[in-house]
Amino acid sequence: MPATRDRSHSPIMSLPTEVLLMILDSARQQYLHRRIIGIKRTAIRNSAVQLAFVCRTWMNVLALKSVFWQTLSIQIDGPTFVPSVIKTFFTASRNQLVDVSIAPLDKDVCTLTAAQEQERVSFIVGQLARHLGRLIKLSVVTFYRSTLVESSHFLDRSDIPRLSTLHLVSQNTDVTTPLLISELKWPDLSELHTDAASFIDIFREGHASWLYDIDLRLTKFKPVDRKEGIDPLKFLDNLCELSQNKKLSLCIEDTDFDFDFDFDFDASSIALPSHITLMNLERLRLHNLKEPFVSLICSIVRSPDLEKIEISRCEIAPQSRPPHPRMRMPGLELHLTDISSSVLLLRMIQDFEGWKLYIEDCPGFNDWVLGAMAFSCRGEQQFACQSIASLEIKGCTFSPGALKHMCEMRLGVGAIEELDISDAVLPLEEHLGKWFEENVESFSWIGRESQLL
């Protein structure tokens, strides 16, 4: 409800300010001490400041104590976009550290025009700009990327010494113009979530500085014109420079890159400068991307700290040539989800250097792939994904006989020691189950029908 609604005839409004403050403070304390399963701690904290949206009287009473004003969560197209409460938040919080979140009611449903969204977000960020020294977390989620561009100038040349988390995320790439930010100082930053183009804007020429390792999530950049996609070499250049001195946990998803599809599909055919090497990478997640970017980024990883690579819903771009048979795949664990192409899936696992392979709901994982895993490659006594010892498969269509043949061919050299099958489409015959139990050190099989019981 808007804070301006008149509730003067309610009995509680006739109470002295001191009594009303005690009641509201008691309500806050109850929220803080309640332990309700399923309610996050942040949701409990936020409930106290939401009392300010009930009416102007409550807002003014709450403004007497700064403890009420630690977290501001605004739905820009909902009932919490109340300018008076937003202004009061930054004054009533006084010298406290603050956490500010801005988002639509539903990020996938557009209810405001671009101009309306820009006006509202710019108002909030404009109020925030004078208090950046107290900011510990800022999350701005918009429908239009143009809104982020328009409001970004409030952050230009800002010193944000306490900021640990920054989210600047849009759902619709209506513009590809750069952010209006030339320099930032955020020594405490440990988490950044933004689109890949904005990442380049923020970090170009080393204009951003911070002290700690970083959790980096780059997402949602899909312009209408494919030629306005991200320059992959420029992007990787910035990313690799970042990785020289900082440990990274990296996620890249829903991003279009502008490749010249005249080159051979083999990532090694792309002339990369020697300094483009991705170091100090602890984790890599790639989602909803097109080849050859997956091949390209995996080819430049040189990090002994890389534990896991997760790849989901990636595919071969329709403009590309037939895929080259080799793809370097570093890391100790490889998780593949929703890969529809058998050719691409085999390329991903063929030169995998780690010991554990997890495949979930991949239409591309079939008997043909298992057959390829059963034979040595390059004319040598070396199997595809030679070093894997643990294989987990969930929800894929393959025959138990083909799986048994693969394991049998790898006995002694490249043997599968741990085999865990779940949500299997086809049933396991008794004699095959007995073979797995006798020849695989650790084996389990749960069929789809068993899970439904």
**What pLDDT does residue 38 have?**
39
Q: Does the pLDDT of residue 17 top 50, yes or no? A: yes
354 and 287 in a common domain: no
Tell me: the pLDDT tens digits for 154-188? 888 888 999 999 999 999 999 999 998 878 888 89
Residue pair 124/89 in contact by the 8 Å Cβ criterion? no
Q: Is residue 142 part of a domain?
A: yes
Q: Is residue 285 part of a domain?
A: yes
**What pLDDT does residue 274 have?**
75
**What average pLDDT does this structure show over 301-330?**
81
Q: How far apart, in Å, are the Cα atoms of 80 and each of 63, 64, 131? A: 17, 20, 20
Q: Is residue 226 part of a domain?
A: no
Q: Does the pLDDT of residue 358 top 70, yes or no? A: yes
**What average pLDDT does this structure show over 292-312?**
93
76 and 29 in a common domain: no
Q: Is residue 291 part of a domain?
A: yes
What gap in Å lies between CA 412 and CA 365, rounded to an integer? 24
- Structure confidence at residue 427 as a pLDDT band (50, 70, 90): very high
217 and 87 in a common domain: yes
**What pLDDT does residue 206 have?**
58
What gap in Å lies between CA 151 and CA 147, rounded to an integer? 6
**What pLDDT does residue 88 have?**
85
Q: Is residue 410 part of a domain?
A: yes
- Structure confidence at residue 107 as a pLDDT band (50, 70, 90): confident
Q: Does the pLDDT of residue 11 top 80, yes or no? A: no
Q: Does the pLDDT of residue 1 top 50, yes or no? A: no
What gap in Å lies between CA 9 and CA 81, rounded to an integer? 25
79 and 215 in a common domain: yes
What gap in Å lies between CA 419 and CA 103, rounded to an integer? 44
- Structure confidence at residue 208 as a pLDDT band (50, 70, 90): low
83 and 204 in a common domain: yes
108 and 42 in a common domain: no
138 and 13 in a common domain: no
Residue 210 or residue 33, greater confidence: 210
**What pLDDT does residue 57 have?**
65
Residue that the structure tokens 């980096």 belong to: 216
391 and 414 in a common domain: yes
**What average pLDDT does this structure show over 432-450?**
92
Tell me: the pLDDT tens digits for 211-233? 788 999 999 999 999 889 999 99
Domain stop point among 331, 365, 382:
331
- Structure confidence at residue 63 as a pLDDT band (50, 70, 90): low
Residue 290 or residue 452, greater confidence: 290
- How many domains are there within the chain? 4
Q: Does the pLDDT of residue 22 top 80, yes or no? A: no
Q: Is residue 229 part of a domain?
A: no
Residue 205 or residue 152, greater confidence: 152
Q: Is residue 233 part of a domain?
A: no
Domain stop point among 68, 83, 108:
68
Q: Is residue 232 part of a domain?
A: no
Q: Does the pLDDT of residue 44 top 50, yes or no? A: no
Q: Average pLDDT, whole number, for the chain? A: 83
214 and 81 in a common domain: yes
Q: Does the pLDDT of residue 420 top 60, yes or no? A: yes
Handedness of CA 105, 111, 117, 120 (dihedral sign): negative
105 and 76 in a common domain: yes
411 and 312 in a common domain: no
Short-list 354, 382, 359, CA closest to 369: 359
Q: Does the pLDDT of residue 408 top 50, yes or no? A: yes
Domain stop point among 289, 314, 331:
331
112 and 85 in a common domain: yes
Q: Does the pLDDT of residue 241 top 70, yes or no? A: yes
Domain range enclosing 168: 71-221
**What average pLDDT does this structure show over 366-385?**
79
Residue 207 or residue 121, greater confidence: 121
